[in-house]
Amino acid sequence: MKDSEILASETQRLAENYREIIGLLGEDVEREGLKKTPERVAKSMQFLLKGYQEDAEAVLKSAMFCEEEYKQMVIVKDIDFFSLCEHHLLPFFGKVHIAYIPRNYITGLSKIARVVDIFSRRLQVQERLTLQIKECIHKTLNPLGVMVVIEAQHMCMQMRGVEKQHSMATTSDFTGFFQQAKTREEFMNLIKK
């Protein structure tokens, strides 16, 4: 984590840029409702993009337990996430479903949700987010297989552009035992329940 002086300096620099952007868009940055907006937006962006300051592998390793004999699927489903599309800086959000089959190591279930938070709190595209979550779990836990499915709504498609309010994007990625259709099908059936 950054120390408070560096963070305050970055907040101030961001706020100055947002003040200029608001002015360029035709608003009066000095009017009552907007006076503190540049600083609020700067702090908001720092929170929404805090994943750059965190290490997902370290989070998983902090709760890694070894020598477990369990060799079946461990599933954490319906993990809420919020991210910002790197193309338009508009939100996309939804659910992440993750399964892994332990080889020797298991991890605390909350750490899997934390991995989702870390990667989603960066400028993203859904495809990369899916891949990064899968690769982090695969590299850190060395399981027999990992599968990640993400279902998301994208404000860049709903608020602008094609304006399709009920569209949903689904991505998936998998390794190991999940390359077998039967194992993938079992996971998909379990997350639908």
Distances (CA, A) of 28 to 7, 31, 45: 27, 6, 21
Q: Point out the catalytic residue in the list 12, 16, 87, 179.
A: 87
Residue pair 125/87 in contact (Cβ under 8 Å)? The answer is yes
Distances (CA, A) of 39 to 17, 21, 46, 123, 144: 10, 13, 11, 20, 47
Q: Point out the catalytic residue in the list 39, 88, 153, 158.
A: 88
Q: Point out the catalytic residue in the list 126, 132, 136, 138.
A: 126
Calpha distance 76→79 (Å, rounded): 7
- Is residue 136 annotated as part of the catalytic site, yes or no? no
Q: Point out the catalytic residue in the list 16, 27, 68, 86.
A: 86
- Is residue 85 annotated as part of the catalytic site, yes or no? yes
DSSP 75-89: EEEEEEEEEEETTT-
Query: Partners of 81 in the beta sheet?
Result: 94
- Is residue 86 annotated as part of the catalytic site, yes or no? yes
Q: Which two tokens stand for residue 150?
A: 């993400």
Q: Point out the catalytic residue in the list 124, 136, 138, 154.
A: 154
Active site residues: 85-88, 126, 154, 156
